[in-house]
């Protein structure tokens, strides 16, 4: 059984946001209004696992991302690689 979603809060750098089995519920990418922001989310603790989701948000859009009705299963952890000047992200996940 998985509990309610936990949020990473707004992060401005590449990070391992959770270690252990979990389910990815949502991701929001926030831009600075000018530059694009990109996140790559993989199932690992160091950025070398299976890529589960990738998106680029156009700078002028200010934000974008995805919510999953049925969260995506991760076995090792959630590692988010962020690129783009002024970009940040928020990830939400459910853990057992």
Q: Average the pLDDT over 47-55 and give the result.
A: 95
Concatenated DSSP letters for 14-32? Answer: -EEEEESSEEEEEEEEE--
SS3 7: strand
Q: Let me know: does 69 contact 56? Beta carbons within 8 Å.
A: no
Residue 35 has pLDDT above 90, yes or no: yes
pLDDT band at 2 (very low <50, low <70, confident <90, very high): low
Q: Average pLDDT for residues 52-79, to the nearest whole number?
A: 95
Measured CA distances, 85 to 5, 12, 37, 64, 94 (Å):
28, 10, 7, 16, 29
Query: What was the pLDDT predicted at 4?
Result: 84
Average pLDDT on 39-54 reads: 96
Q: What pTM does this model have?
A: 0.93
What is the reported pLDDT for 69?
84
Q: Do 53 and 66 contact (CB within 8 A), yes or no? A: yes
pLDDT score, position 14: 98
| Per-residue pLDDT at 3 exceeds 70 | no
Q: Where are the beta strands (DSSP E) in 1-96?
A: 6-7, 15-19, 22-30, 37-43, 50-57, 63-74, 77-83, 88-94
Q: For the chain, what is the mean pLDDT?
A: 95
């Amino acid at each position: 059984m998985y509990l309610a979603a936990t949020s990473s809060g707004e992060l401005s750098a590449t990070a391992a946001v959770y270690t252990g089995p979990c389910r990815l519920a949502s991701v929001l990418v926030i831009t600075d209004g000018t530059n694009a922001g990109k996140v790559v989310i993989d199932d690992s603790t160091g950025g070398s696992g299976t890529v589960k989701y990738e998106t680029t948000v156009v700078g002028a859009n200010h934000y974008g991302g995805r919510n999953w009705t049925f969260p995506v299963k991760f076995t090792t952890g959630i590692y988010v690689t962020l690129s783009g000047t002024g970009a940040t992200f928020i990830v939400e996940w459910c853990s057992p």
